[in-house]
Structures are given as structure tokens and as C-alpha cells.
Amino acid sequence: MAVFLGLPLAIYLLFVISPFAQAFYYSMTDWSGFSPTMNFTGLDNYRRIFTDDIFMKAMSNNIILVIFLPIITIVLSLILATFVTVGGSSRGQIKGLRNSSFYRVVSFFPYTIPAIAIGIMWGQIYDPSNGLLNGILTAIGLENFESYPWLGDKNTAMIATMFVIVWGFVGFYMVLFVAGIKGIPAELFEAARIDGAGRFRTAVSITIPLIRDNIQTAYVYMGILALDAFVYMAALNSGGGPDNSTLVMAQQLFFTAFNKGQFGLASAMGVVLAVTTLIFSGLVFLMNRLTGGDKDVSL
């Protein structure tokens, strides 16, 4: 009992729980990060960040990301996964589109590229003067997009950034859903076809309920990514974008700690970010339970 449970628990407490507790303690001090001394300030740092317009703007940007990013990514991934598994001919054996293996490889490829490389690459594509996107749009006659600052306009900066994140993750979650759909007996799809169910009805009534756990896992992971998104935001708009339109909590935490030397205040931001992530994950599991996700689907 001590070896198989006690030792892993001790390691977990030491390397996982202890840093959280330490960060929470630092969040109630005025520690500069470079001094051995610190003064206890209680909840003063939390009052400061919740009255700071910049941090609240960053939090609102994270909320926008956590609302839209998981939904867009999961919906697109489900559509692609359905096409390459059961989206083929409506006659004969249940199968995916022709050359579906090729589509899987191409869709998964962006996920193999490091996030910072994706950010730099798309930063060049969005470049107002020499970017590929503006070059293509102007070449087809859309002169209004000549030298258009996709990342420099507050109306498009967040949308352009979300597109990059979705582009990088759709392929990964498509593969996750493909694995789930492959585990569904083909007889169910054949029975639905015989009963006259269309593709949309089949997806809603069979595919989605039977891979619900996969979807829940994808939603949680995409939500956690949306609540962080530091690498993508830093690579595409290191300063937070025009009018802080792409600034996220992780960026503001970084600026506060390393640019201003206020590690105690930055730790408070980190605690808020961690609590927000836990609340989001709890809400996802709660909604799944309330909607019957904890029950076995009868075949």
C-alpha cells in the first residue's frame, strides 16, 4: 500500500500540489522575484488585478477564445472525421471518401509543427506589405486588401489569430474523432441507411452520442488551450495587439513578472488563471453529466 499508493501520492504532492500552494502564497506578497525578502499583503494583489482595466480586457479576450475556439475546432474536426470514415458513397459498404488516408495526413500535418513556428509563419502570411494573403486577395481583384493589416486592426486581429489556432489543431482532433468513429460498429450505420436516415441525422443520432467522451475530452483540452494561448498570441502580436485586442491573461502575467518585476502580482494572475481553468473544466463535466453523458448509450 505504501509503495504503490504512498510513493506516487508523495511525488504528486511534491511536484504538483506544492508549486500551486507556493504560487498562492506568493500571490499574497509584494515579492519582486529577485529579492529574498517579501512582505505579506493579503488579498491586495487580487483587488488590484480585478480593478485593472488591462487585466480585465485580457480576461475578456480569454473568455471570447474559450467560447469560440473549442466549438469551431470541434465542429470542423467532426465534419472532416465523418467525411474520411463514413462519408463515402451512399451505396455498398460503409466507407469514407476516396483517398481518405491522404486527407488524414494532410489535415494532421499542421499539428506536427511547433506552435512558435506556426505563429511566425502566419505572421509572415499576414504581413501587410509582403504577405501571401494580401497578395492573393489583390491578385484576384480585391484591391481593398492591399496592405491590409490583419493583425494590426482591432476588428480583425482576434479573428485572424483564432483562425491560426484552429488551423493548427483541427487535424489532431479529426484523428481523435476518427479513432472514435472507427470503434462504432458498421452495422449501426448500415441500419440507419436502411431506415432512410440522411448523413446529418446519422451524425446527430449515432456518431455524436457514441463518441461523446471523445468530444468532451477535446472540448476540455481546447478550452485549456484557449485560456492560455500564450505562444500563439506572443508570436503573432507580442505586444497584445491594437488596443489590447489579442492580449490574454498569460501575456499580461508575463509582462507583469518579467517587465515590471512584480512577481507577487503576477502570481495572483496565475492563481486566477488556474482557478478559471478549473471552473471551466468543472462546468464541462457538469454539463455532460446533466445532459446524460454519464449514462451508457444502448446499442
- Would you say residue 15 has pLDDT above 70? yes
Per-residue pLDDT of 182-212, as tens digits, reads: 888 888 888 888 888 777 888 888 888 889 8
Per-residue pLDDT of 104-134, as tens digits, reads: 788 888 888 999 999 999 999 999 988 899 9
- Would you say residue 299 has pLDDT above 50? no
Which residue, 35, 99, 297, 273, is CA-closest to 180? Answer: 297
Of 66-75, 95-104, 110-119, 150-159, the poorest mean pLDDT is in 95-104
DSSP-assigned letter for residue 61: H
**Please, are residues 98 and 194 in contact by the beta-carbon 8 Å criterion?**
no
pTM of the model: 0.87
Instruction: Provide, rounded to the nearest whole percent, the portion of the chain with pLDDT above 70.
Output: 94
Per-residue pLDDT of 47-60, as tens digits, reads: 999 999 999 999 99
**Please, are residues 222 and 73 in contact by the beta-carbon 8 Å criterion?**
yes
Burial of 251 (0-12, 13-18, 19+ CB in 10 A): buried
- Would you say residue 71 has pLDDT above 80? yes
Per-residue model confidence (pLDDT) at position 85: 82
Per-residue model confidence (pLDDT) at position 220: 93
Which residue, 208, 193, 267, 207, is CA-closest to 29? Answer: 267
**Please, are residues 237 and 148 in contact by the beta-carbon 8 Å criterion?**
no
Q: Locate all alpha helices (DSSP H) within the chain, ordered by sequence.
A: 7-12, 18-26, 44-50, 53-86, 100-108, 115-125, 132-139, 157-182, 186-194, 199-202, 208-210, 212-228, 230-236, 249-254, 263-290
CA distances from 4 to 12, 112, 134, 142 (A): 13, 36, 59, 65
- Would you say residue 92 has pLDDT above 80? no
Per-residue model confidence (pLDDT) at position 297: 46
Helix (H/G/I), strand (E/B), else coil: 297 = coil
Average pLDDT over residues 249-268: 93
CATH code of the domain occupying 39-48+57-265+273-290: 1.10.3720.10
Which residue, 81, 243, 113, is CA-closest to 178? Answer: 81
Which residues, listed in sequence order, are joined to residue 278 by a DSSP beta bridge? none
Instruction: Provide, rounded to the nearest whole percent, the portion of the chain with pLDDT above 90.
Output: 54
Average pLDDT over residues 89-101: 65
